[in-house]
């Protein structure tokens, strides 16, 4: 959060964590975090580079857009498409995460064999409540993000003077608690793609510039199975975040508002405590993630980490969560 005595709005409190691809050629993504405690007074911003998917973790966001007003609370997300001007008002200290994609828009994932109903339903997405203002302002600042840099211009009136519009290019929000979860009801462990809320597809079939995935409360009933996520390496970059509660595969890993990045082909999985508990657990139906909501920004692109992320609030002992893992394999006596 901003230091005591500081006044920081959404724009000034936006920090880049990592990114991949290229903003100029419009093929890539960036992951940001925001911390703020002040509203944007006579100030707005638009992103000329791409779409922003905003995940509030603490504090409500009152958004004023060219299309109207939106209230976005923790456990909800909002997508601001490229080029749309908006301002953020807050009632106190606020923070959250931002996933930015270039050159492509977020969309619902293909449901395949699931059929017509499941995961995030189009009917649950909400658009702004109509509102406009006709207000002259001596110095209204319009901030823009272009080629990864911020610029500003001054005009003499509010930009939120759009009286009417038509079409479907509009900001929208979604309540994560309305997600219809799928999971195995027999054995084994399903891929996390079954938890995809929105995807920004790449030009290569079957891969994405970015997926937004959540791990909501759900029942776990698999038999003859190690139920937590398997230890693995994969060809995707995985950024984990936590809105509330604890992450089920790593309860001591990080707190709400924190995050972790597992770069592609880096081994990862449950920590030692999770492994021991899950290996000995009685396999009965179990509710996972109650009062918890963790999420993942996943990408087929490799990530470059910003200097800010490398030098601020970094957990240098992160690797120790796996140091206590024991070797359980024993060579059969026949060999």
Question: Which amino acids are annotated catalytic?
Answer: 189
State the CB neighbour count (10 A cutoff) for residue 66. 19
Q: What are the phi and psi torsion angles at 311 (to 5°)? A: -115, 0
The answer to whether 221 touches 187, Cβ cutoff 8 Å, is no
Q: Is 157 annotated as a binding residue?
A: no
The answer to whether 189 touches 223, Cβ cutoff 8 Å, is no
Q: Is 248 annotated as a binding residue?
A: no
Buried-exposed string 231-270: b where 16+ CB fall within 10 A, e elsewhere: eeeeebbbbbbbbebbbbbbeebbebbebbbbebeeebbb
* Cα 12 from Cα 2, distance rounded (Å): 10
Q: Is 238 annotated as a binding residue?
A: yes
* Cα 16 from Cα 308, distance rounded (Å): 7
Q: Is 147 annotated as a binding residue?
A: no
| Cα 112 from chain centroid (whole Å) | 24
| Cα 85 from chain centroid (whole Å) | 21
Token pair for residue 67?
A: 């299309």
154 CB-side CA count, 13 A: 3
The answer to whether 40 touches 9, Cβ cutoff 8 Å, is yes
Residue list for the binding site for homogentisate: 247, 268
Residue list for the binding site for Fe cation: 232, 238, 268
Residue list for the binding site: 232, 238, 247, 268
């Amino acid at each position: 959060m901003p230091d005591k005595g500081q006044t920081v709005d959404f724009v000034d409190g936006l920090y880049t964590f990592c990114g991949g691809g290229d903003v100029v050629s419009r093929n890539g993504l960036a992951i940001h975090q925001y911390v703020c405690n002040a509203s944007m007074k006579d100030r707005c911003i638009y992103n000329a580079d791409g779409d922003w998917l905003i995940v509030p973790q603490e504090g409500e966001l009152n958004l004023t857009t060219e299309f109207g007003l939106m209230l976005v609370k923790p456990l909800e997300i909002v997508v601001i498409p490229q080029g749309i001007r908006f301002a953020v008002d807050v009632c106190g200290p606020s923070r959250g995460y931002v996933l930015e994609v270039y050159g492509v828009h977020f969309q619902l994932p293909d449901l395949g064999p699931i059929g017509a109903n499941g995961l995030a339903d189009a009917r649950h997405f909400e658009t702004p409540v109509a509102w406009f203002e006709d207000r002259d302002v001596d110095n209204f600042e319009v901030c823009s993000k272009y080629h990864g840099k911020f610029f500003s211009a001054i005009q003499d009136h509010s930009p939120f003077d759009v009286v009417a519009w038509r079409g479907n290019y509009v900001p929208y929000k979604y309540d994560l608690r309305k997600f219809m979860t799928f999971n195995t009801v027999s054995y084994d462990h399903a891929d996390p793609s079954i938890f995809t809320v929105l995807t920004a597809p790449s030009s290569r079939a079957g891969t994405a510039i970015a997926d937004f995935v959540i791990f909501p409360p759900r029942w776990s009933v698999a038999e003859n199975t190690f139920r937590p996520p398997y230890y693995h390496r994969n060809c995707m970059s995985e950024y984990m975040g936590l809105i509330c509660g604890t992450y089920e595969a790593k309860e001591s890993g990080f707190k709400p508002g924190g995050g972790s990045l597992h770069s592609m082909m880096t081994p990862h999985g449950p920590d030692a405590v999770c492994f021991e508990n899950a290996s000995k657990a009685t396999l009965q139906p179990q509710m996972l993630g109650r009062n918890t909501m963790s999420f993942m920004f996943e990408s087929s692109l490799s990530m470059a980490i910003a200097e800010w992320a490398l030098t601020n609030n970094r957990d240098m002992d992160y690797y120790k969560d796996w140091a206590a893992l024991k070797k359980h394999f024993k060579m059969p006596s026949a060999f």
